[in-house]
Structure 1
């Protein structure tokens, strides 16, 4: 059956063709919602070019998923990749990010963890639910069947391709009815599960697109060439399981792939200003949570933090919430919460961010970010209270940033099998010595940053006010109409800012010297 295609002009991949069924998915309110969610979250407030959204990224992933599965089909007909398989893979690529919340990863990695302590919710779960909602609300079941898909089998398969853990969790909640519908694919075609979201080694088309797209919009060079890797992708049987492997001469290109991920995170996603921007936006959302209501299905209403439980409400939850909070009429109840949130967002708009104090040198640790954060907070709080420093301990912000090559502490190439030109059907691992002696010794590091909730050069609302008796008693300030008073006040605030930074920097360095080294580890090449 000939598949009708539609052509898009993408700024990254050029003119791309997508099946008509994918276009029907794109032309829905649930997918169009992605136009209003920034790909890099708060980075747009730091990098003026980072204006791209989840919408175009998702289209790019759907396209690349089709290219990879088509290449494998043409190169190895014996794999028996069907048109149904290819269409499912493309839909999974297209819909893999449907569940992202406002400002992308800021929502689940920052806001949700604080709004619902102990929450393990991730956007992949919402992607699965939103896909169901999209199909149901737009009556796409008949269109999917007309395109050759078999329901519910292929829909379950699409969800598994997006995130197999989230999909299986949903199946468990629905009962055993769909539990084994794709048993044959899991056994005979497990390589299809590595195209959109590769849990084995992280090499998937999601990253192929966002590397190219993020670098282009950030103004960074992208050293990874996915077009070349496409030509050398091949399915081999390794330990009785079929998996996507690559030609041995592509090992250098794949190291560039993993290094590129580290570069984007280091220079943009984990940029110290980006992180505090997202902290401030998240704080504003927390202040507004419970005040702003979002209408869901059957006239129900939800908070920002609970909208994920109803896809009708979640469809309305995008970056637009920033503007909604900023211009929300002050209510009679909870007025202070909204005013606090609006003040925070106005500071973000004016590029008045919380003060950055210091960050440690990189170190390696098997402790979680949460465990390290708790330890640093306790350490700094104790010293502030003991020394009676002019700081409000509730205004100290500690962030632990983890940088790696995508597979935590492991060498990512250890999860990749390579074939040779002379033996394309047999794949094997490659040792680091076979690649280069210049490879990193470690593949993950952490660092700790400390900020203070005060806008530099402005009067704080915290302990500075508590110390106010001196100011109230001072006759000089009571006589303050003279113009000369302005510079003196500005100098006082500058001294206070410098004092805060010096104190926090000193305490963080003390923690690093006394504590960080006790749980750090190192690797030595013999």
Structure 2
């Protein structure tokens, strides 16, 4: 069993099949994708990559599976189950693009509006491509995984389908692109092993080993404290049956530890992931990528060429798309990339858009290009011409809408967690908030509208426009959100 030395989890051992996956160009690509995108422009230590995070998730998935197998032999957890869950943990981020969520959540929606795409779906495609081009199917079969049709039966379903479902959820109907409506939508494992779908990507309450690793790892590299103890939490997990399905349930005394986990996640978003400077740098990178989109040529399968935004359609081309695209544009001599190059050069020289202020919304605002444009136009028109020292247009302002929550919008995630007690380890239930503490938060989400000025020569004029717009007692044009003066502005 090869041993990896990890700064978060120490010396960890991984199954030889996992190492075979790691030693492929498709997985090694993750070495060149920063975990936190543009955050290292603000926090210099946050240069860790998707590579080590994926290995950490794989390790924790194995630790949890082995703990449940030892603690509850009646669950009939097999070595195949453990290996499949670990592969899913290892490969769950294969589909991320350059600068991670900057590419997935900002660039693709702007470059290809209306195109339905997620990095989870891309991870599944990349995993299948990885297996095919590296001829790993015989290796996987040799280690006991069931992949071919002759191995698959009703009682022994496909392990590859199971891995795909662990990463991206139940398969959708390609004809109408909706999830299956059957009582149990998964094909990889039956209802008797429903708890396996809560380990890598828990769609019920967001408590999974992916979060355990990135909270610990990101906190470490950001130089921030992590109050959530995942090692302790793993020691108090059991599988209990609730309403006909088996769920992974913590002990009731782990309630406060879980609240620490959700608060840590929110705190990292507020202090680092959504930092006002890192956020606008990510926006500027997105602008540069959009400008460069049609002029970047990536060779994919059968010699076809793809752009930045279309490379996601071809896994051979996508394998070549990493954070290096920033330097490729920056050092290019092509005149077609001049505008994009100026933006990236400004980022390196710290000539970034100036922060004017932010406002907390009492009512949610749709994060669309139309809403952002309407807000920018409203700010530009906040002053009458007689008070303007310089003309300011809507395009001189950059508006970003930030949503921060505990993991499930404005819902208390603890309401989706079943707890067992010391005296009854087989039955689990939801614990009401009033049984825990009167000091728990009542709101679990907030939305910020941030405004920046693109013109560094007229910052003061833009600031006055923003302040006047902020004071307006009425609804801002094109935006269904009130701006009460009492909310103030964080400077």
Q: Structure 2 length as normaliser, TM-score?
A: 0.90
User: Does structure 2 conserve the Cα–Cα contact (< 8 Å) formed by 1:391 and 1:500?
Assistant: yes
Q: 1:21 to 1:171 in 2, by over 3 A?
A: farther
Of the candidates 156, 176, 185, which is equivalent to residue 161 of structure 2? 156
Paired with 1:444 and 1:430, the residues of 2 have a C-alpha distance of 21
In the alignment, is residue 341 of structure 1 matched against residue 340 of structure 2? yes
Q: 1:238 to 1:162 in 2, by over 3 A?
A: same
User: Does structure 2 conserve the Cα–Cα contact (< 8 Å) formed by 1:384 and 1:391?
Assistant: no
Counterpart of 1:73 in structure 2 is: 69
Where structure 2 has 5 or more consecutive residues not aligned to the other structure, the ranges are: 149-157, 485-491
User: Does structure 1 conserve the Cα–Cα contact (< 8 Å) formed by 2:361 and 2:449?
Assistant: no
Paired with 2:408 and 2:351, the residues of 1 have a C-alpha distance of 36
Counterpart of 1:516 in structure 2 is: 481
In the alignment, is residue 241 of structure 1 matched against residue 268 of structure 2? no
User: Does structure 1 conserve the Cα–Cα contact (< 8 Å) formed by 2:166 and 2:200?
Assistant: yes
* Paired positions, count: 464
Q: CA deviation at 1:171?
A: 11
Q: Which structure carries more helix by proportion? A: 1
Of the candidates 41, 64, 82, which is equivalent to residue 60 of structure 2? 64
Paired with 1:143 and 1:403, the residues of 2 have a C-alpha distance of 43
Counterpart of 1:216 in structure 2 is: 220
Counterpart of 1:206 in structure 2 is: 210
Aligned to 1:290, what secondary structure does the other structure show?
A: helix
Paired with 2:440 and 2:450, the residues of 1 have a C-alpha distance of 27
Counterpart of 2:230 in structure 1 is: 226
- Within a 5 Å distance, the mapping from 1:352-431 to structure 2 comes to 352-360=351-359, 362-370=360-368, 373=372, 375-383=374-382, 390-431=391-432
Counterpart of 1:480 in structure 2 is: none
Counterpart of 1:448 in structure 2 is: 449
Paired with 2:185 and 2:134, the residues of 1 have a C-alpha distance of 24
User: Does structure 2 conserve the Cα–Cα contact (< 8 Å) formed by 1:419 and 1:425?
Assistant: yes
User: Does structure 1 conserve the Cα–Cα contact (< 8 Å) formed by 2:364 and 2:447?
Assistant: no
Aligned to 1:410, what secondary structure does the other structure show?
A: coil
Q: CA deviation at 1:376?
A: 2.3
User: Does structure 2 conserve the Cα–Cα contact (< 8 Å) formed by 1:379 and 1:511?
Assistant: no
Counterpart of 2:15 in structure 1 is: 19
Paired with 1:512 and 1:267, the residues of 2 have a C-alpha distance of 31
- Within a 5 Å distance, the mapping from 1:38-117 to structure 2 comes to 38-117=34-113
Q: Structure 1 length as normaliser, TM-score?
A: 0.84
User: Does structure 1 conserve the Cα–Cα contact (< 8 Å) formed by 2:165 and 2:186?
Assistant: no
Where structure 1 has 5 or more consecutive residues not aligned to the other structure, the ranges are: 457-492, 520-526
Q: CA deviation at 1:292?
A: 1.3
Aligned to 2:17, what secondary structure does the other structure show?
A: helix
Q: 1:227 to 1:351 in 2, by over 3 A?
A: same
Paired with 1:162 and 1:511, the residues of 2 have a C-alpha distance of 46
Aligned to 2:434, what secondary structure does the other structure show?
A: helix
Q: 1:511 to 1:272 in 2, by over 3 A?
A: farther
Q: 1:347 to 1:241 in 2, by over 3 A?
A: same
Deviation string, structure 1 residues 56-77 (Cα, Å, up to 9, x no partner): 0000000001111111111111
Q: CA deviation at 1:512?
A: 7.7
Paired with 1:344 and 1:240, the residues of 2 have a C-alpha distance of 55
User: Does structure 1 conserve the Cα–Cα contact (< 8 Å) formed by 2:471 and 2:483?
Assistant: no
Deviation string, structure 1 residues 292-342 (Cα, Å, up to 9, x no partner): 100001000000000000000000101000000011122xxxx2x411111
Aligned to 2:431, what secondary structure does the other structure show?
A: coil
Counterpart of 1:504 in structure 2 is: 466
Paired with 1:71 and 1:170, the residues of 2 have a C-alpha distance of 37
Q: 1:96 to 1:504 in 2, by over 3 A?
A: same
User: Does structure 2 conserve the Cα–Cα contact (< 8 Å) formed by 1:364 and 1:444?
Assistant: no
Q: CA deviation at 1:187?
A: 1.3
RMSD value over aligned CA atoms?
2.2
User: Does structure 2 conserve the Cα–Cα contact (< 8 Å) formed by 1:262 and 1:403?
Assistant: yes
Structure of higher CA gyration radius:
1
Aligned to 1:278, what secondary structure does the other structure show?
A: helix
